């Protein structure tokens, strides 16, 4: 069988560019609405909705800060659970009688449970309110530890400064995340 010589017409480059332009305009590729430049305008995004993770800009260092604090809480909880006498000495600056480890192990268990929740929030960091709540939870935890330690006289200078630094750092990132400070 021989080809009858029918040729397929090719599009001219100007028609192809115009077609691409119309497609990009319909999809809204490259178009942003608003002065902040974080809301996409397109027919498809209007129908399907926009993905919040693409629109949110996180403060610099937030992920590193949250990961560091969560790792500290995890290691502290693990130490209190497995080696309660050493954990109590390092954390609260006094040794523990051998028969009084139940409360320290429960404290370690609670810290480990909280870190599992915090890790889950850090892994799925596209949810803005949860990150904000995580930072407030960190600040509250360290503030309450500081207040209880000072009230009972079991907080040394190093631990007090560390916890105060953690409270201030978490509050600063919370303010940056919610755009409360420019």
Least confident of 15-19, 53-57, 93-97: 53-57
DSSP characters over 110-146: HHHHHHHHHHHHHHTTT-HHHHHHHHHHHHHHHHHHH
Non-local CB neighbours of 118 within 8 Å, separated by 6+ positions: 66, 69, 70, 73, 134, 137, 138
Q: Which residue has the higher pLDDT, 49 or 107?
A: 107
Contacts 24+ apart (CB under 8 A), 128-136: 128/52, 128/56, 128/177, 131/58, 131/62, 131/66, 131/177, 132/174, 132/177, 132/178, 134/66, 135/66, 135/170, 135/171, 135/173, 135/174, 135/177, 136/170, 136/174
User: Binning pLDDT at 50, 70 and 90, where does residue 137 land?
Assistant: confident
**Greatest mean pLDDT range, 22-31, 36-45, 118-127:** 118-127
Non-local CB neighbours of 27 within 8 Å, separated by 6+ positions: 42, 43, 44
Q: Which residue has the higher pLDDT, 178 or 131?
A: 131
pTM: 0.59
Average pLDDT over residues 128-138: 81
Contact between 104 and 87 under an 8 Å Cβ cutoff? The reply is yes
Look at residue 78 and tell me whether its pLDDT is greater than 70.
Answer: yes
């Amino acid at each position: 069988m021989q080809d009858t010589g029918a040729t397929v017409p090719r599009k001219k480059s100007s028609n192809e560019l115009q077609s691409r332009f119309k497609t990009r305009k319909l999809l809204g590729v490259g178009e942003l609405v608003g002065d902040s430049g974080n809301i996409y305008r397109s027919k498809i995004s209007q129908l399907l909705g926009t993905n919040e993770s693409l629109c949110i800009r996180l403060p610099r260092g937030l992920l590193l800060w949250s990961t560091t604090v969560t790792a500290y809480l995890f290691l502290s909880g693990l130490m209190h659970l497995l080696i309660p006498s050493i954990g109590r000495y390092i954390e609260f600056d006094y040794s523990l009688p051998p028969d009084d480890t139940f409360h320290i192990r429960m404290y370690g268990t609670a810290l480990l449970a909280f870190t599992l929740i915090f890790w889950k929030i850090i892994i799925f960091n596209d949810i803005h309110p949860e990150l904000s709540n995580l930072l407030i939870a960190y600040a509250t935890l360290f503030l309450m530890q500081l207040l209880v330690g000072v009230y009972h006289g079991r907080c040394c200078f190093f631990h007090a400064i560390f916890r105060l630094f953690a409270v201030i750092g978490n509050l600063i990132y919370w303010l940056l995340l919610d755009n409360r400070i420019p």
